[in-house]
Amino acid sequence: MARAVIAIHGGAGAISRGQMSADKEQAYIRALSDIVGAGQEILAAGGSAIEAVTEAVRLLEECPLFNAGIGSVFTRDGTHEMDACVMDGATLNAGAVAGVRHLRNPVLAARLVLERSPHVLMIGDGAEAFAMQHGMTPVSPEIFSTEERRQQLLQAIGAQQVALDHSAPLDEADKLGTVGAVALDLAGNLAAATSTGGMTNKLPGRVGDSPLPGAGCYANNANVAVSCTGTGEVYIRAQAAYDIAALMEYRCLSLHQATERVIMEKIPTLGGDGGAIAVDREGNVALPFTTEGMYRAWAWVGDAPSVGIYRE
Amino acid sequence: MARAVIAIHGGAGAISRGQMSADKEQAYIRALSDIVGAGQEILAAGGSAIEAVTEAVRLLEECPLFNAGIGSVFTRDGTHEMDACVMDGATLNAGAVAGVRHLRNPVLAARLVLERSPHVLMIGDGAEAFAMQHGMTPVSPEIFSTEERRQQLLQAIGAQQVALDHSAPLDEADKLGTVGAVALDLAGNLAAATSTGGMTNKLPGRVGDSPLPGAGCYANNANVAVSCTGTGEVYIRAQAAYDIAALMEYRCLSLHQATERVIMEKIPTLGGDGGAIAVDREGNVALPFTTEGMYRAWAWVGDAPSVGIYRE
């Protein structure tokens, strides 16, 4: 029997101890701990990896602290455009949505695409129409808006900063752009899920790595489940999530060697930064990142959860 | 100096000699030959691989015989939604658009995303707005429509066939879903481009592998340029284009070994079929496919072009 485990992230970026109030830090720690605990319970009860990652990401979307679902950042036009992906390592089936604006939980729409359509990726109005045909209810876009994200947009617009250059982030928040979960269940199945509100002040229509299988999300029972967060364009060009799997499969690298190679070496060489969470078929966990911090938590079934924000 | 070469495809599918009139066959052969010749001339004059593949795909989009740009198939709603991607092996930069409806040449919009934005993938109205800000003119969607494609839609609707199952194509045409080009230039740079109108009677919002770097399009000077055509969902799940590169890079497979492994073995194992064209850094060309036929042509600089439709 495999050593069941779940890991989650709430984005990577310039998170410095100095700028974080004690209250806010506690709020993040509590949210991460609660959410990873919810995923852990699903696994402990014999639930599947895909159930556990879907529910963990749904809870991350529900939490306004993180840039996905409620709490999503604003586009340049003051709207929210969200993307999500789930992948089932047992079947290599994947489902994803991009550019959705009226679905409370994009990860549940991605799951519907996986389970109820022959397709992998659906975008925009077509994705929303599909989700509604399968029982989802449209919501008003205001539910995603939080005062903090609006201030970030006003700040960006006021400073005439546009998210045109990933190497010069307009503020700390524009990189905290993703949430995700990876899990190994008691039956030995791997799964991954990723969801995002994108970048503050982004051009409407821009899609990053989060909803793209192989870029920001990948799972294969043969080796690994991965969810990425960082400069999305670089993660797409590097095929970051699949590249970790390929290095394990074709080069026989360990989980730690493969994630280090991609996240700490290849992504920076292409001018990107960020992190990833990954779980292999033996239940090992890796959580590398090149930024100052990454909101993260992980928990083996039967153990107490671990939570991290900054570099150790 | 590298042996400069270009290869193009106009889709793979159930193309049988019996059902093709001599006139139609000649029209395909002439179009493929002319277009590969145009790309060959660019390379012979010292043009870059990215120029050659962009122009070849633009010409394939202009030709109503192929399902991309003019001649795109219809969605279930009688509209056209097109996707395209270009990738530059010298820089690993990529540009792509998905779900565009008013851009005559989606591949030129993808090229604009590559060259004039910090982004990789733009979708829908946002992609069109970006393209228009950079000088593209919107066109009426009717220009993409051809009588043959409309008949295919009516046939599909009349038979209440929906493209829900790739293993049971509604007719021959729904698989002829993509065009593409790969090239190696005299300076040793590789590039790839892919463009598509999708599947006849597809759900609006569905996106296949064509606009996704690593899935339907990939180029890296270190090893290979690839453009795919086939059951898009499977090509996404398999990360088909990048997987060919990974097998060459990490397993030291030859171009022919790597393309055979992915197109002839891994894709069918996942229930998919189709083909790919690929050129490696030494100027070798591979054009494998599992379907009855694949419209294809290839030409080394200084040699006469070769054209193929059926299995040899």
Q: What is the mean pLDDT of residues B159-173?
A: 44
Write down the pLDDT at residue A171: 43
Cβ distance of B239 and A213 shorter than 8 Å: yes
Alpha-carbon A134 to chain mean position: 24
Chain A residue with CA closest to B243: the answer is: A246
**Mutation for testing the A interface, residue in B97, B119, B125 having most A CBs under 10 Å:** B119
Q: Is the pLDDT of residue A157 over 90?
A: no
Task: Tell me the average pLDDT of chain B.
Answer: 92
**Minimal CA separation from A252 to chain B, in Å:** 10
**What string of H, E and C letters represents the secondary structure of A92-121?**
CEEEEEEEECCCCCHHHHHHHHHHHCCCCE
Q: Grade residue A152 by pLDDT with cuts at 50, 70 and 90.
A: confident
Q: Is the pLDDT of residue A251 over 80?
A: yes
Residue from B118, B97, B128, B125 nearest B213 by CA: B97
Chain A residue with CA closest to B127: the answer is: A205
Residue B252 DSSP SS3: coil
**Radius of gyration (C-alpha) of chain A in whole angstroms:** 17
Cβ distance of A123 and B212 shorter than 8 Å: no
CA distance B213 to B236: 10
Write down the pLDDT at residue A176: 56
Q: Mind telling me the catalytic residues of B? A: 178
Chain B residue with CA closest to A120: the answer is: B233
**Minimal CA separation from B228 to chain A, in Å:** 16
Lowest average pLDDT, out of A61-75, A208-222, B16-30, B254-268, goes to: B16-30
Chain A CB contacts of B98 under 8 Å are 123, 207
Write down the pLDDT at residue B168: 37
**Minimal CA separation from B45 to chain A, in Å:** 29
CA distance B180 to B218: 11
Q: Is the pLDDT of residue A2 over 80?
A: no
Q: Grade residue A153 by pLDDT with cuts at 50, 70 and 90.
A: confident
Residue from B218, B235, B176, B232 nearest B200 by CA: B176
CA B187-B190-B191 angle, 5° bins = 130
Write down the pLDDT at residue A38: 98
Chain B CB contacts of A92 under 8 Å are 237-238, 270
Q: What is the mean pLDDT of residues A91-114?
A: 98
Q: Mind telling me the catalytic residues of A? A: 178
Strand order in the sheet with B306-310: A206-207, B121-123, B93-100, B82-88, B190-196, B179-184, B5-13, B293-300, B306-310
Q: What is the mean pLDDT of residues B5-29?
A: 90
**Mutation for testing the B interface, residue in A87, A199, A210, A233 having most B CBs under 10 Å:** A233
Lowest average pLDDT, out of A17-21, A50-54, A208-212, B302-306, goes to: A17-21
Cβ distance of A123 and B94 shorter than 8 Å: no
Q: What is the pLDDT of residues A189-207, one digit of tens each?
A: 999 999 999 888 889 999 9
Chain A CB contacts of B247 under 8 Å are 250
Write down the pLDDT at residue A260: 98
**Tokens standing for residue B172:** 């021959």
Task: Tell me the average pLDDT of chain A.
Answer: 92
Alpha-carbon B310 to chain mean position: 18
Let me know: does B243 contact B257? Beta carbons within 8 Å: no
Write down the pLDDT at residue B111: 98
Q: Grade residue A67 by pLDDT with cuts at 50, 70 and 90.
A: very high
Chain A CB contacts of B124 under 8 Å are 99, 123-125, 205
- List, in order, residues 6 or more apart from B52 with CB less than 8 Å away: B6, B39, B40, B42, B43, B181, B183, B185, B191
Chain A residue with CA closest to B77: the answer is: A126
Give the one of B99, B118, B243 whose C-beta lies nearest to A164's C-beta.
Answer: B118
Write down the pLDDT at residue B27: 96
DSSP A121-158: EEEHHHHHHHHHHTT-----GGGG--HHHHHHHHHHHH
Chain B CB contacts of A125 under 8 Å are 124, 204-205
Q: What is the pLDDT of residues A269-280, one digit of tens each?
A: 999 999 999 999
Lowest average pLDDT, out of A118-122, A260-264, B10-14, goes to: B10-14
Let me know: does B4 contact B281? Beta carbons within 8 Å: no
Cβ distance of B247 and A250 shorter than 8 Å: yes
Write down the pLDDT at residue B299: 98
Give the one of B93, B123, B247 whose C-beta lies nearest to A205's C-beta.
Answer: B123
Write down the pLDDT at residue A18: 79
Residue A222 DSSP SS3: coil
- List, in order, residues 6 or more apart from B110 with CB less than 8 Å away: B84, B85, B86, B95, B96, B97, B193, B195, B211
More confident residue, B170 or B40: B40
- The pTM assigned to this predicted structure is 0.95
